[in-house]
Structure 1
Amino acid sequence: MTEALVVLTNCPDAACADALATLLVERRLAACVNVLAPCRSVYRWQDRIESASEVPLLIKTTPVRYAELEAAIRANHPYELPEIVAVPVMRGLPGYLDWVAAETAPPADDGATQTVT
């Protein structure tokens, strides 16, 4: 079975969530990103209890693309320390998992690019 991950993160608003979701899919770092309804998050940050409205993202990718995906989230996320949590997919519809793998496959190095010296 094809390996897959569901990566969780939260954005401060819908515009940020939509932009990040689009970027990840455009770069083929994610096959699909679900932008969920806003939620209320309660957390401790710098010794204070905080509460904020956030927009959760469910990102479907593969272990091969995870490092690049994490780097892209960190580079394009407004939070100082964004939540980035990867959960392995233990089971899933084989066709769907194959689709995730196909949509996130790294570009093939087919030798078409040659250096002329």
Structure 2
Amino acid sequence: MRRLASCAILLGLMAGPGVADTPPRCALLGQMAVSSWLEMLGALSGTDSTTADPIIARLDGLTGIYGALSCDAAQLQEAMDCLLTQSGNIRADALARQCMQQSGMTEQN
């Protein structure tokens, strides 16, 4: 069920505005990493810590590839930090999209 929710979030992010001056593979990997980061935050809030292990492994793999492709790590870090610091009555996918826009990973509407 969690994987289905993650896929839905990722599809929602990809259906959003176009990507700014970011190579397509960096844009896709960045969105996948942000989605995994969001999923990990949700898993860590639960009581079963074993659900976080595969998410952390996936996130580690995505961020490793992101760095190996020389994608803009500062943008990714800013988007992930934004997810930690922003709160309010906003859906997770909308917050992720907003954070990626603020970091420059995607175009502003």
Q: Does the pair score TM above 0.5?
A: no
Structure whose alpha-carbon radius of gyration is higher: 1
TM-score, reference length from structure 2: 0.30
TM-score, reference length from structure 1: 0.28
More helix by share: 2
More strand by share: 1
